[in-house]
Chains A and B, each alone.
Chain A
Amino acid sequence: MAMQDKSWRDGALQLSTLPLLVIFAAFFVIPLGMTALLSFQGTQYYRLVWTWDLDIWRDVFGQWHYWRIMWRTLVMALVCTALTTVLAVPIAYAMINRLSKWSHHITLLMVFAFLTDAVLKTFGWVLFLDRSGVLNGMLAGLGFGPGAVDVLFSPTATMIGMVYNLLPYTIFTTALSMARIDRDLVLASYDAGATRLRTFFEVTLPLARPGILAGAVLVFVLALGVFLEPKVMGGGTSPMAAELIRQSFETRVNWPLGAALTIVLIVIGALVLAAAGGLAAIRMRRSKA
């Protein structure tokens, strides 16, 4: 703790963080501030008018449908975070412990898929899930009726797309965390008579928690801003926040409204993360006590 205090007072260290501070201010704080300022302006005849009033914010807080979309976005992001985390843990565990011989190949395949353009992947899913697509073609070949799976253009399809596109984040962070676990601790658990399952839940999982949490935070933040999946796979009938913001900026040419909704989304995301962080801290304190 003393080392940490000393470090932050260290002038050399402060100087070395200056470039990062400048970048952070230039590319995050200042644009965010400008976005906030924009939300106090108005539009007239598709042109920005510098009104400096609260009209847009009255509109934001007075329209239920904005909040309905924000709520939907929040729920979808939380579900996506939960699903990717639940899926990532066994996959990462298998990569590190059971398929370690193939882990490089699996990682390579995942990186390849991860780096493939999201638009291509998303449209690929459309072709796969379509009523006359690959999946239904295969199922028809197996004797199922035509269009046996009809999930395209539904929230389910949106979720499939979100989980697919965001899963690598949780897999990589969780796998990294698991790879750093001291193998002797796991062996000690076995020596003490614990089963594989008990060892997994009482040794591996708690030690992998930092990676799991990091992945979950990454996925949650990214899931709040998904645009392609609800638009292309979800069929646009269950719009999420990013689409609402796009509509405000682009279709309605109401930049102050788009700016205000952007601020709302950022605040919601920050509040949820702060709440999750607070809960984690309380739990940690209790477990230490």
Chain B
Amino acid sequence: MKKTNGLSMFSPNRRAFLQGMGATGMAAAGMMPRRARAATSMQYMCWEGYDKPSIIEPFEAAQDVNLSIDLITDSPGGFAKLAAGAWRDFDVVSTDSPWVQRMGPAGIAEFIDDAEFADVYDSFYEQFRAPFGPLQFDGQTTGLPTRWGWVGPTVNTQYDDLDTWRSYDPCFDPAYKDKICVLDWGDWPIMPMALHAGINPYKELDQAELNEIRLVLRALFKNTRAVVADLSVAQKGLMDGSFRTLIGGGTYCTSALRKDGQKHIQSIVPEPKDGLNQGIIWMEASGIVKDPADAAKAKALLKHMTSPEVAVELAWTEATCNLVPSQAAEGLFSDEQKDVLQMDYMWEAWDKSMFHDVAPNIDDMLEIWQQELAAAR
């Protein structure tokens, strides 16, 4: 609300600037395209897929809104950007759930009232219904879950049996030397290796545990052929067998290949080890950024993103295909889509997994990662 007063029009934020520019342009030209003539302008920070025209355009038409998209490529970077002051520019954000969860207490996102979204929660699988712990902080909820999947070994069954990858042991087997691809995606490859070492990386770690993580990463790098950030390079290696698995990957890496007919490529989770689940559930969520220009429309966008019809669109994008929390959407998927998404396996993966969170010792682990990678060759 405070952004709609007269003075705030002159505050240095992008949303006000764009609105002003739009109004000036309209007055000057009087011939702006349909989207620019929308009554409201909203700024949306999101991952790929959320910007799909078949998702955005119906919302713009229904709400008479012009939605500007800012795609993010890493969740910590998106959080840092908002925290550095960009929250003044944005209305809604869709990013990895641990970061959305932290936006509320960090004062850069609105807490939501679960009761207001009761109909949305009712459409979700039981596992995602309110009160949904992974998006809560001190009993307050920031955002709604929108996409999910699991992190575990990605297996090309033309080269390996699935049973081979019921644990991460092959990563350290000399027979797999130079056949392991580690994804350079922040903490994602570190977490499964910590779990393999018998350490829960999502709790506060002592020096001995951090040292164990160092040793397991050191051993991993000995067998690693490449540390890859580009999904297409990783997928190509997985397809031609030069990479036998992608550490830090999972359904996010394999679903698009399966969509293209390569059903021999699957993502699984390792069997629990010493009472510790070895898989990791990742989830994206959508939240309302602090002080949105139009709170009602920001809530409407959240409801739009979690509606069953949009959930199907969100699950099925050009770059990746992912699971959605909407149970009501399940009936809208074709059998082929369900097969691509490995929906017959999803609850087994869920049961054998930890839920991804921002680890308390994340910076220590990333530093160890840097140190060991520097010494790898």
Partners in one complex: yes
**A residues adjacent to B (C-beta < 8 A):** 45-48, 63, 65-66, 68-69, 123, 126, 130-132, 153, 155, 231-232, 235-239, 244, 247, 250-255
- Which residues of B are found within 8 Å of A123, using beta-carbon distances? 233
In this complex, how many residues of chain B approach chain A with their Cβ under 8 Å: the count is 32
Contact among B77, B242, B366, B375 with A132 in the assembled complex (CB-CB below 8 Å): B242
- Would you mind naming 6 contact pairs between A and B with Cβ atoms under 8 Å apart? A65-B374, A130-B236, A235-B226, A236-B228, A253-B79, A254-B363
Expressed in whole angstroms, the Cα–Cα distance for A251 and B185 within the complex equals: 8
B348 within 8 A of A: no
Cβ contacts under 8 Å, A46 to chain B: 76, 79-80, 83
Residues of B near A239 (CB, < 8 A) are 373-374
CB distance from B372 to the nearest CB of A (A): 8
Q: Give the residue name and chain of the B residue nearest to A255 (CB).
A: B80
Could you tell me the distance between the alpha carbons of A232 and B77 in the complex, rounded to whole angstroms? Answer: 21
Nearest Cβ distance between residue B339 and chain A, in whole angstroms? 28
Tell me the smallest distance from the CB of B12 to a CB of chain A, in Å. Answer: 18
Interfacial chain B residues near A130, Cβ < 8 Å:
236, 240, 242
Contact A238 to B377, CB < 8 A, known contacts A231-B229, A250-B74, A250-B77: yes
Binary contact readout B199-235 vs A (1 if CB under 8 angstroms, 0 otherwise)? 0000000000000000000000100111111100100
The 9 closest A-B pairs by CB, nearest first: A235-B226, A236-B227, A65-B374, A153-B226, A65-B371, A253-B80, A253-B76, A251-B186, A47-B83
B229 touches A235 (CB 8 A): no
Residues in A neighbouring B377, C-beta threshold 8 A: 155, 237-238
Residues of A within 8 A of B106 (CB): 45, 47
Give B316-348 as 1s and 0s: 1 = Cβ < 8 Å from A's Cβ atoms: 000000000000000000000000000000000
In Å, the complex CA distance between A123 and B229 comes to 13
B370: Cβ under 8 A from any A Cβ: yes
A65 touching B240 in the complex, CB below 8 Å, given contacts A235-B226, A236-B229 = no
B84 within 8 A of A: yes
Given contacts A45-B106, A132-B242, A253-B77, contact A232 B224 (CB under 8 A): no
A47 and B80 in contact, given A68-B374, A244-B370, A250-B74 (Cβ under 8 angstroms) = yes
Q: Which residue of A lies closest to B232 (CB)?
A: A123
Q: How far is the CA of A126 from the CA of B240 in the complex (A)?
A: 14
Chain B residues near A254 (CB, 8 Å)?
A: 363
Return the contact of A232 from the options B221, B233, B371 (Cβ within 8 A). Answer: B233
Contact A232 B230 (CB under 8 A): yes
Q: Bound state CA distance, A231 and B375, in angstroms?
A: 16
- Judged by a CB distance under 8 angstroms, whether B118 is at the interface is no
B208 CB to closest chain A CB (Å) equals: 21
- Please report the C-alpha to C-alpha distance between residue A74 and residue B68 in the assembled complex, in whole angstroms: 43
User: Could you say which residues of chain A place their CB within 8 Å of the CB of B76?
Assistant: 46, 250-253
B228 touches A68 (CB 8 A): no
B376 contacts A by Cβ under 8 Å: yes
Contact residues in A for B186 (Cβ distance below 8 Å): 251
Residue among B79, B363, B373 making CB contact with A237, cutoff 8 Å: B373
Within 8 Å CB of B375, what residues of A?
A: 65, 68
B184 located at the interface, meaning its Cβ lies under 8 Å from any Cβ of chain A in the complex: yes
State A66–B377 Cα separation when bound (angstroms): 14
Q: Give the complex CA separation of A252 and B187 in angstroms.
A: 9
CB distance from B238 to the nearest CB of A (A): 13
B371: chain A residues at CB < 8 Å are 63, 65
Q: When the two chains form their complex, are residues B233 and A126 in contact, meaning their CB atoms are under 8 A apart?
A: yes
Which B residues touch A63, using CB under 8 A? 367, 371
Closest A residue to B226 by CB, please name it.
A235
Given A68-B375, A237-B221: 9 more A-B contacts, CB < 8 Å: A69-B374, A235-B226, A235-B227, A236-B227, A238-B376, A239-B374, A252-B367, A253-B79, A254-B363
Known: A69-B374, A253-B77. A237 touches B227 (CB 8 A): yes
Q: How far is the CB of A173 from chain B (nearest CB, A)?
A: 33
Give min CB distance, A59 to chain B, whole Å.
9
How far, in whole Å, are A127 and B367 apart by their CA atoms in the complex? 32
CB of A130, distance to nearest CB on chain B (Å) = 7
A67 to chain B: closest residue by CB: B374
B76 CB → nearest A CB, Å: 5
Give the chain A neighbours of B233 by CB distance below 8 A: 123, 126, 232
**Alpha-carbon gap, A143 to B225, bound state (A):** 26
Q: Give the docked Cα–Cα distance between A31 and B204 (Å).
A: 38
| Contact of A252 with B363 in the complex, beta carbons under 8 Å | yes
Q: Which residues of B contact A66 (CB under 8 A)?
A: 374
Contact with A along B360-372 (1 / 0, CB 8 A): 0001001100110
Nearest Cβ in chain B — how far from A245, in angstroms?
A: 11
CB contact between A252 and one of B221, B236, B366 (< 8 Å): that residue: B366
- CB-CB under 8 A for A236 and B184, given A47-B80, A153-B225: yes
B220: shortest Cβ distance to chain A, in Å? Answer: 11
| Beta-carbon nearest neighbor of A238 in chain B | B377
Find the B residue at minimum CB distance from A150.
B178
Please indicate the chain A residues that have their CB under 8 angstroms from the CB of B77 in the complex.
250, 253
Closest to B74 in A: A250
A113–B224 Cα distance when bound, in Å, is 33
Partner of B226, one of A68, A69, A236, A250: A236
Q: Which residue of A lies closest to B372 (CB)?
A: A65
Q: Are A65 and B370 in contact (CB under 8 A)?
A: yes
Expressed in whole angstroms, the Cα–Cα distance for A3 and B69 within the complex equals 58
User: Measured between C-beta atoms, what is the minimum distance from B242 to chain A in Å?
Assistant: 5
Asked if B84 and A47 sit within 8 Å, CB to CB, the answer is: yes
